[in-house]
Structure 1
Amino acid sequence: MFEVYPIGQAAPEHLEAGAATSLLEFTELSALDTATGRRDMWIRIVKVGAGCGPSGPPHPAVRLKADTGDVVEVPISPTPVVLLNGPQGSPPAANANMAAEADDVYLVRVTVLRQILKWRLQLVNNDAAARDFVWVVADHNAESRQPWIDLPPTLDFEVDVGQEARRSLQVANRGTGTLTMGDGEGFQPGPGFVLSAVPKSIGPNACANLDVTFTGVPGPATVHAVYDATSNDTKAKTTPGHNHRVTLTAVARLAPGTILLADRDAAGADGDSAGGVIRVDPTTGKQVRLLAGDHIAAPSGVAIQADGTILIVREDALVRLDLMTGQHSVVASGDPLGRFHVGLVIEDDGQVLLTHTGRKGHGRGQLIRVNPDTGEKTVLTDSECDFAGVALEADGTILVVEQGMSPDKPRALLRVDRHTGQPTVLTTFDPPCRPVGLAVEPDGQILVTDAVSTDGTGRLLRFNPTTGNKTVVSTGQFFRSPWGIAVEPAGSILVSDHEAFGHKGGVIRVHPQTGEQTTVSAGGLLTSPLMITLVPHDERRLVPPHRP
């Protein structure tokens, strides 16, 4: 039999430098040694170091009191001291001596000579620094060696979607005996979590790492699991200082540079072409259906807000989706939102800009600003022609592609004042050019996709933001009807084309200087990819800006 002390206490007994405990009562646990005829009680004490190792000398003082007898300090000596359980002159009640063991563990052996009703113990910290103490009372020597497990209460992961992360948690043994873990490698505390390295044993006053691996889920999510570590510490609690429970939390985020595509006709899980948002790995081209469902039916644009939520524009509504929770809500709908939105971009202050090809029953295209908090809609500017792509210059000035209808009203690249909505023409496009997608390179150059060039394959164009002069970046090759544009941090240009690769659609990477095209991803889940966006590289967890 044994008992671990302090009983009912969250952590080991804490003593400041030079401090002593009160006289702490404990229950006698003793057994008759038939070989010696002695009735022995074993008290094993550990002085817990500040880190993961013993602190060394000086030794603590250990004092015992039997019933109403005097308090007696037990020396480190093979020669025992005598304890009386009454006034001086009373017969000896017990003998006790103490031995110093490795790792700041001390063994007090008490030979009980007569019945004692109340035992009390006092510890004195002789160190120059604060120390913690744990002790075990047992009726056999072996049973006085007991572990005291202490794990951190939480272990957090942040992992890219589809990837895995490995973290270590420190297992501390603050007990008098060796700690052995009961769960082996491969044990799964919860979905996605697995123990990948487990220490076999941890001695007193020592620590070791227990490794946990989390494999990222297919989409952004927060995953929780509670791991109750099993060990030979039968007295383990779930409180700080003697904790065997760890809450595991993994946040799976979209990796920086991940490609998101709004596909109006992407097949859903049931095979129906309801449209959705497709995630594409920019390196491997692997596709994953990120979002689908009636709430985002036939999406034409996608953007990422500062707080990580996603905005999707569909036929007549702007929808917000929280990828971590799966919750969706309509940000804005109804007049003046149109039937087919082509452009979607978020301004620095969080306001959302949309362009469309004309409202239902109204042929005029419009540039609309939407407050994402209130859903309030403001028409910045409109045109008798359709509007297509929209982008922002470094100073916040808005760029819009206007789909002209005649020589008197040619297709044009407009610069729009963000405050007044006043448009000015930067440049025009000669027929049969059909400008659609729009993006701005880091140096301010403006990129436009031409979905219908003279050779019928489409082009990627670059315009000087000051002069409006045009150069052809890339044409032909994989292009068939290039649509959306996104610029990677290294400068490469990503273009979505819903007719490329045998009308299956895909993503094409274009070298910004040579115009050489390479395939990023094609076919698969893609059917009609339109607008494209990238998960930002600069920050993983953005704070939404203050909006006056």
Structure 2
Amino acid sequence: MTTDAMLPAGTVLLSDSSAFGCQGGVHFYVPATGLRGFFALGGDLVGATGIALEADGDVLVTKDRHHPGGGTLLRLSRSHGTTKQTVVSSDGNLVSPMAVAVESDGGILVADIAAKGAGAVIRIHPVTGKQTVLSVGDATGDPLFPCGLCVEADGGIVTVEQAGPVPEPPAPQVVRIDPVSGARTVISSGGSLRSPVDVVIDHDGNIMVVDANAFEGFVGGVIKVDPVSGKQTTVSSGGGFDTPAAIAIEADGTLLVTDNKALTREPTVFRVDPVTGEQRVLAMGPPFTYLSGVRVVPAH
């Protein structure tokens, strides 16, 4: 039985790097009913970072090597109320994977902020776990350091990149990667971008970036980036945000943004109106500990 047979469409899945006594886990929250709980807990999930869903409903989670074990990509499949964890791929090029996405043909993409010394986007075969480096930065001039990634409708890969640790680092930027050649094209750079950490494509093809400290007072927010011109438009900033960490999109286009220091300094999931920027709390507080990724179960 697949994930979406166990959980209804619209269910919010949240990776948590240190849930329940630092075991790590994946929470579920059903907005329609308010039901919440653990989809998976413990095992290899300590240090969980990014999260994605495969076409059959299985859940993919990346794990940072700074926690026990190495950089790892896990598959979580659930049946009869029990979640099974399987290692898809580990070690090799995986050092500090931060985000994961799935291509239309089922290929898995991982953004690793430390792979190859300057960060890389790695393609992983969903069955064999074979790793292929698709795109890698240059620590001396064109660092990659990807923190988030997503896939456009035409297969283009979009990443958000941090400034690199060089004497005069380039500005943070949004980059498109060719899925065949790995060639990189800068879509947008600088402007409001300070610490972009995650990215999603909205229903109109716009690029929605969550930045941990983009605005006055170093509070974070959501920035819309035109996929052609690179023009940046502020969607939402300040308000309940402190240091937003991850972003997803619901079926009606509403944005979901996680923030681990919001409001009462508790991990919080906000709903953000993509037009007005209005922020509303969807869920907050325990058992959330450190929310590192968010995805929504789609309708099929």
Q: TM-score of the superposition, structure 2-length normalised?
A: 0.89
State which of 358, 362, 365 in structure 1 corresponds to 2:114. Answer: 358
Q: Please give the alpha-carbon distance, in whole angstroms, between the structure 2 residues aligned to 1:321 and 1:424.
A: 33
Give yes or no for the alignment of 1:411 onto 2:172: yes
State which of 349, 370, 377 in structure 1 corresponds to 2:124. Answer: 370
Q: Please give the alpha-carbon distance, in whole angstroms, between the structure 1 residues aligned to 2:98 and 2:261.
A: 17
State the match for 1:482 in structure 2.
244
Structure 2 CA distance for partners of 1:480 and 1:283, relative to 1, 3 Å: farther
AA aligned to 1:397 is G
Structure 2 CA distance for partners of 1:479 and 1:284, relative to 1, 3 Å: farther
State the match for 1:389 in structure 2.
148
User: How far did residue 462 of structure 1 move?
Assistant: 0.2
User: Are the counterparts in 1 of residues 236 and 278 from structure 2 also a CA contact under 8 Å?
Assistant: yes
Q: Please give the alpha-carbon distance, in whole angstroms, between the structure 2 residues aligned to 1:434 and 1:489.
A: 27
List alignment gaps of at least 5 residues for structure 2. Answer: 65-70
State the match for 2:7 in structure 1.
254
Equivalent position SS for 1:455: helix
User: Are the counterparts in 1 of residues 193 and 211 from structure 2 also a CA contact under 8 Å?
Assistant: no
User: Are the counterparts in 2 of residues 274 and 292 from structure 1 also a CA contact under 8 Å?
Assistant: yes
**What is the identity percentage for the equivalent residue pairs of Structure 1 and Structure 2?**
33
Equivalent position SS for 2:146: strand
Task: Show structure 1 runs of 4+ deviating over 6 A.
Answer: none
User: Are the counterparts in 2 of residues 312 and 319 from structure 1 also a CA contact under 8 Å?
Assistant: yes
Q: Please give the alpha-carbon distance, in whole angstroms, between the structure 2 residues aligned to 1:508 and 1:283.
A: 15
Structure 2 CA distance for partners of 1:398 and 1:344, relative to 1, 3 Å: same
AA aligned to 2:26 is V
Residues 360-509 of structure 1 correspond to what in structure 2 (within 5 A)? Answer: 363-383=117-137, 384=139, 385=143, 386-405=145-164, 407=168, 409-430=170-191, 433-453=194-214, 454-509=216-271
State the match for 2:43 in structure 1.
294
Q: Deviations over 1:398-448 (max 9, x none)?
A: 001111236552211000000000001011024771111100011111100
Equivalent position SS for 2:44: helix
Equivalences, count: 284
User: How far did residue 305 of structure 1 move?
Assistant: 1.2
Specify which structure has the bigger relative contact order, considering alpha-carbon pairs within 8 angstroms and separated by 6 or more residues: 2
Q: Which has the larger radius of gyration?
A: 1
User: Are the counterparts in 2 of residues 284 and 520 from structure 1 also a CA contact under 8 Å?
Assistant: no
Equivalent position SS for 2:218: coil
For the aligned residue pairs, the C-alpha RMSD in angstroms reads: 1.9
State the match for 1:333 in structure 2.
90
Q: Deviations over 1:65-120 (max 9, x none)?
A: xxxxxxxxxxxxxxxxxxxxxxxxxxxxxxxxxxxxxxxxxxxxxxxxxxxxxxxx
AA aligned to 1:371 is H
Give yes or no for the alignment of 1:313 onto 2:62: yes
State the match for 2:100 in structure 1.
344
AA aligned to 1:262 is S
Structure 2 CA distance for partners of 1:409 and 1:323, relative to 1, 3 Å: same
Q: Please give the alpha-carbon distance, in whole angstroms, between the structure 1 residues aligned to 2:117 and 2:32.
A: 41
User: Are the counterparts in 1 of residues 101 and 109 from structure 2 also a CA contact under 8 Å?
Assistant: yes
Q: Please give the alpha-carbon distance, in whole angstroms, between the structure 2 residues aligned to 1:438 and 1:284.
A: 27
State the match for 2:77 in structure 1.
322
Q: TM-score of the superposition, structure 1-length normalised?
A: 0.50
